[in-house]
A and B are shown apart, each in its own frame.
Chain A
Amino acid sequence: MIGRVFFPTPTHQILTILAIVLIASTSTTIYLTHDSLKNQEISPFGAGTFYAEYFYYEGFVSQKKVAWERALHNVTEKFPYLKIGNIFILNSTQAIVQVGDQPITLKPTQIMLTDTSIYNVSSFRFIDKKSTGEGIILGYEIYMALEEIGRVDKLKIKLINNQSTIFTCTGKVIGILSPTASNSLNAGILIVNKKLDSIKPIYFPKFVVFKVPPEYMEYMSALAEDIYYRGLPVVQPERSSNPLFFQSILNVAAIFSDLGLLFAITAYVMVSKRIWLKEMAIALLSGAGFFKILSWLFLRNLITVFLGIFVGTFIGVSFFSFIISRLPPTYYFYFTVSNNISGTLILNLSVSLVIIIATVLYVWRYTTKTTPIKIIREVFYQ
């Protein structure tokens, strides 16, 4: 009985569910992608990070250094869940990078020094395999530039301050970063070295990078502000304005996919007319009342559409999480994990609920204008 009422034409219903699943998953994927891009930040060290920048004179005990260390200690005590990494940019006047036998001069701020803790802090994405060891990491654009000289697998780097060499390093290139929204990272050369303490004491600006765990992402801005008031000059990531054009294209695509969902469900409802008329005739012959038939119809549509929406949204979320969000970022497209999955589901369900209610109202209007015998005649003697 239940099978007859709720699944009168299983083939048709399965195909319809499949269509709704496909459209709902497309819609969910686009919606999440769009939402993820909307939250994009231009943090040089990847999504979910911000940093504090401070200048102090290493090797001398100064008030500034003491204050900085005290503030940093306070922050680590207050927010133990924040991951912290250090990046140094030596205060040099010239940076010489040698590819093969060819030396070239770059901007000294392009050279950044760090230790392996940076991997825990930053959200770096690499165009090749993930790197975790010591060596040299290149930004996408600087890699493209150096490749114009020759094969980039080993680099010799020298930092000069007023004609005296303050740092030298020869290292293997262990990774190339995917292009990001941060131009400083795209042009940067990151030297990952354990022996960072052995660098000669010299003026250098130090960056402390803070990584906010995903569960605290919503409060990132508040956290950064709190840390700022505790004495660390925090630089908050800016919202990117570069991809506005591409985002507007995704906006249009998102509208298309919502339209698609609307069409698919309406399609189901329209195709169902002949089916539910036949079922209604059988029910009427069995002595069922109009109200009962309407409630069956509502339930049947609810089961079909909601099943499609739930499965489709689940597939869409999985597709976004496992494929789209893991795509290497490309300048304007850097994915943050969207936490608006429930919002997507609610949106899809609301759209379908409205259509289902509209269908039942339509059928109800139809039944008020006709008699049971007319329905039976329409189905069996047309």
Chain B
Amino acid sequence: MEIYDKNHPYKNNQRGVLPMIVEHSIRRFKFNKLWMVLKIALVGFALVVLIGSATLYLLAYQTVEVYEGGIYPEDSIIIRGTNPKIFENLTKEGIYGMKNFTPVEILKTSNFSIECNNFKISPNYIYLLGVKQQYFSMFSIEFESGGAIKKSGEIVVGHYIFYHMKETIPGFGIGSEIKIENPYNNEVKTFKVVGVIKQQKPDTSYMFSSKNTLDTLIFLPLSDFHTLFKNFTENIVIVKPDPGKSLVLYYQLTSKFNYVEYPGIVKLRNTVALSWLSYFLGILSISTLLSVAVAIFAAAVSQIKHSETEFGVLKSSGVSSTKIFIILLLESFYLMCVALIMAFLLGGIFIFSFLSLSNLGLSLSEILLYTIGFPILIIFLVLMIYPLYGVIYYRHITPAALLRVT
């Protein structure tokens, strides 16, 4: 009759210590299923809150970021329904903080068509703007290629429009001629593309579903725009403030005009709200982390206490405290692996269901680092409570004392 199991790993002297420790820790992991499920649940909760808070913050940040000038230059003040003459009359005494202004016309309708080399393109995502030559220098608009409008019959296009047309229309480029038609009075005018505006946002700005920037614009000379669309245009005056004087200029203009817009004020409000929100989400994350750390410590205290006999046997067999620490560390390591998988799953779900990556202006790796990287690091630290407590607890207890306790 065999008394000993020949296959038992501890009987096989050929095997190293480390595989035995790994096997022991796996057995412990299986034996203490309930503890592990509990810790996984706690870690899961902490991850939900930490990754959730980070994602929510990014979501709020994204909402704040999209409040920009839209199709108008950043930090400009827009006055609707006012032509330059009225504007000049009302501001002839001078307004503190105003650097310059320029008239702009926009279309009241989106019903127009664009044709180039016998290809017609959909204008749904394109905005037409009638501007004066000074518009480009006034707002320091940079060009990717070509330059600003100098005379009648020339147009400048936004980055996205240019590349979209290049992909759709064979032979399209700087110098190409395009026809713009107003279907209401059958007026058609041919323009020559003279410039492409530098991309306003990173590559992500190709998705324009929720954001309109200069990338989606076609600039026409103001006179041509007026001739082409006549009664279908709206007069706008765009005011450029002196640096750092935009808010005071905005309030002065509101006392003279009825329809004054300053997108910067919305941004200011949202930025203040965002900092409050980050403070609040910070409190939520810290208190959750604290709760989970205490709960995991409570679990560690109980689990370590219930393993006294087992570790008593190990210690009396000559297993050092370092090896006990490695056994416990491995248990935490398995949990860390589970936490890592959970973090990526949760992060993926949160990021793709809440965020629109195109609007954040951050790469996916940056977003992952912010939403998942930091929570994982914190969770790893929290999970280290268990092996550290274990080794401190067992270090000074003699094997006899451990075996005595049942």
Contacts and interface: CB of A to CB of B under 8 A. Distances in A.
Interface of A: 9, 11-12, 15-16, 18-19, 22-23, 25-26, 29-30, 33, 94-95, 102, 104-108, 110, 141-142, 144-146, 148-149, 179, 187, 243, 245-246, 249-250, 252-253, 256-257, 259-260, 263-264, 266-267, 270-271, 273-275, 327, 330-333, 380
A318 to B, nearest CB: 14
Contact of B63 (A245, A252, A331): A245
A110 B251 CA distance: 10
B117 interface: no
B25 interface: no
B302 A141 contact: no
Nearest to A263: B45
Interface string B237-256: 00000001111101110111
A325 to B, nearest CB: 13
Contacts of B281: 253
Most chain B beta-carbon neighbours within 10 Å: one of A19, A142, A250: A19
A9 B53 contact: no
A107 B258 CA distance: 11
Chain A facing B: main interface SS: helix
Interface in B28-53: 34-35, 37-38, 41-42, 44-45, 48-49, 52-53
A102 B95 CA distance: 11
Contact of A257 (B44, B63, B284, B302): B284
A106 B251 contact: yes
Nearest to B265: A141
Most chain B beta-carbon neighbours within 10 Å: one of A16, A94, A256: A256
Given A22-B290, A246-B277, A330-B276, A271 B35 contact: yes
B288 A23 contact: yes
Interface string B276-301: 11001101100110111011011101
A188 to B, nearest CB: 11
B56 interface: yes
Contact of A256 (B52, B277, B283, B305): B52
B288 A260 contact: yes
A142 B406 CA distance: 73
Contact of B294 (A15, A94, A105, A380): A15
A144 B268 contact: yes
B306 interface: yes
B255 A11 contact: no
25 contacts: A15-B294, A15-B295, A16-B295, A18-B294, A19-B292, A19-B298, A22-B287, A22-B294, A26-B283, A104-B248, A105-B252, A106-B252, A141-B268, A148-B97, A245-B60, A256-B48, A256-B284, A260-B49, A260-B288, A267-B42, A270-B34, A330-B276, A331-B273, A333-B273, A380-B406
A148 B245 contact: yes
Interface of B: 34-35, 37-38, 41-42, 44-45, 48-49, 52-53, 56, 59-60, 63, 96-97, 244-248, 250-252, 254-256, 265, 268-270, 272-273, 275-277, 280-281, 283-284, 287-288, 290-292, 294-295, 297-299, 301-302, 305-306, 406
Given A19-B298, A145-B251, A260 B291 contact: yes
A12 B252 contact: no
B240 to A, nearest CB: 15
Contacts, number: 155
A142 B252 CA distance: 11
Contacts of A9: 302, 305
List 3 tightest A-B contacts by C-beta distance, closest first.
A15-B298, A22-B291, A19-B295
A249 B255 contact: no
A249 B56 contact: yes
Nearest to A187: B251
Chain B facing A: main interface SS: helix
A33 B277 CA distance: 12
Contacts of B275: 330
A210 B301 CA distance: 58
Given A249-B56, A249-B60, A331-B273, A264 B255 contact: no
A331 B272 contact: yes
Contact of A249 (B59, B294, B306): B59
Given A104-B252, A264-B295, A267-B38, 10 more contacts: A12-B301, A15-B298, A19-B294, A22-B290, A106-B252, A141-B251, A145-B247, A146-B248, A148-B244, A267-B295
Contacts of A260: 45, 49, 288, 291
Contacts of A332: 269, 273
A180 to B, nearest CB: 11
Contacts of A266: 41
Nearest to B279: A327
Most chain A beta-carbon neighbours within 10 Å: one of B244, B283, B287: B287
B302 A249 contact: no
Nearest to B283: A29
A12 B288 contact: no
Contacts of B294: 15, 18-19, 22
Nearest to A330: B276
Contacts of A104: 96, 248, 251-252
Nearest to A11: B301
Contacts of A26: 283-284, 287-288, 291
Nearest to B244: A148
Nearest to A243: B273
A270 B37 contact: yes
Given A18-B294, A30-B284, A106-B251, A149 B41 contact: no
Given A95-B255, A330-B276, A253 B299 contact: no
A246 B57 CA distance: 10
B100 to A, nearest CB: 17
A141 B247 contact: yes
Contacts of B254: 106-107
Contact of A253 (B42, B56, B268, B306): B56
A80 B291 CA distance: 48
A250 B57 CA distance: 11
Contacts of B246: 148
A92 to B, nearest CB: 11
B171 to A, nearest CB: 45
A18 B45 CA distance: 17
B119 to A, nearest CB: 41
Given A106-B252, A333-B276, A12 B269 contact: no
Contacts of A106: 251-252, 254-255
A252 B52 contact: yes
Contacts of A264: 291, 295
A253 B298 contact: no
A146 B244 CA distance: 11
Given A18-B294, A19-B291, A259 B48 contact: yes
B79 to A, nearest CB: 15
A16 B296 CA distance: 9
A142 B301 contact: no
Nearest to A262: B45
Given A12-B298, A249-B59, A260-B291, A149 B276 contact: no
